[in-house]
Amino acid sequence: MSPAACSSPEPQPGPPVTAAPTASPTTHTEAPTTDPTLRTLIEAPVAPGTLTLGAPRDDDGVDFRRLDVTYPSGDLTITGILALPDGDGPFPAVVVVHGYEPPASYRRERATLGEQRALVEAGYAVLAPDLRGYGSSDAGATDSWADQEVGATQDVVAAVGALAAGGVPQVDPSRIGLLGHSQGGRIVLNAAVVDPDGALAVVATAPSSTDPWQNVERFMFAALDAAGGLGTRGSPATQPQFWADVTTTTFADRAHRPVLVIQGDADEVVDPAWADAGVAAWDAAGGDATLVVLPGADHGLAPSFDEAMTRAVDFLDEHVAAQG
């Protein structure tokens, strides 16, 4: 999905890129789609690779260690940053996933910086990947939003796999968590159902909807439909199997790790009700999901970002760090 610009407080998120539609969806062909789905990732998992460490970074305003890194995601090379606390480790690790913003405006050195700082100060190593098409990462099939959405999920599953493969002496490969914001929040929930044994715990902050059609309607419908971008994907009415197969909660019964969702009730980018619905569906499938609502917090969790990170760290301490 492509919600509005969704980084943590540095920089602040902007308004939605596309207003919610006012017209009914166009009727599309019912020919089957060949787009990848969460089901295809589950049925044909990609073998994990290893994390390759690059040069140290020296970014303005960053007072902790960071390195450039790469790892494979299928046939693509994904770039990112590995942030480290002081000391030798091995540290528990968290893969932190950025939200949507136009790729041309994305800056690796600033993306998820607030989350990285909070986690490093709490003693975690942080792998912050540039999802496909961002930073210096290879691009996927950019003509297909479904491939980008599912491909980003593959990138996150591959990030967990690269850390779990060992080979990074500062990281404990047996203690890995996930944290994502906005679209990244939805992606980490996707990863939890695709690879249920990967991360020990998952945190989603201000996530976009676990029902992708709601995201299409709110953020993308007018532009995609005008350009023919929905194509054979149609709608849930015309292509129910495809839309079920890209819906996170279709596979919620696979997930068995604890999930924490943190949502501001003053969020004007995503609908705060989405978080409640997603947690309810997770619980109904037998999962372990907790919702924390921050009164007055916006999409970037301001003015309660520090409280959100405290909640996230406490949760990860219990379910990830304490498992060593």
* Gap between the Cα atoms of 277 and 271, Å rounded: 10
Return the pLDDT at 222: 53
Phi/psi at 219 (5° precision): -110, -30
pLDDT tens, residue order, the chain (324 aa): 334 444 444 434 333 333 333 333 333 344 455 678 999 999 999 898 999 999 999 998 899 999 999 999 999 999 999 999 999 999 999 999 999 988 999 999 999 999 999 999 999 999 999 999 999 999 987 656 677 789 999 999 999 999 999 989 999 999 999 999 999 999 999 999 999 999 999 999 999 888 888 877 777 655 555 444 555 577 788 888 988 999 999 999 999 999 999 999 999 999 999 999 999 999 999 999 999 999 999 999 999 999 999 999 999 999 999 997
233 with 198: CB under 8 angstroms?
no
Which amino acid type is present at position 145?
A: W
Return the pLDDT at 28: 37
Return the pLDDT at 34: 66
Please give the class, per CATH, of domain 50-211+247-323. Answer: alpha beta
68 in helix, strand or coil?
A: strand
pTM: 0.87
Least Cα distance to 53 among 28, 83, 74 occurs for 83
Phi/psi at 122 (5° precision): -90, 0
* Gap between the Cα atoms of 225 and 223, Å rounded: 6
Return the pLDDT at 224: 53
For the chain, domain boundaries: 50-211+247-323
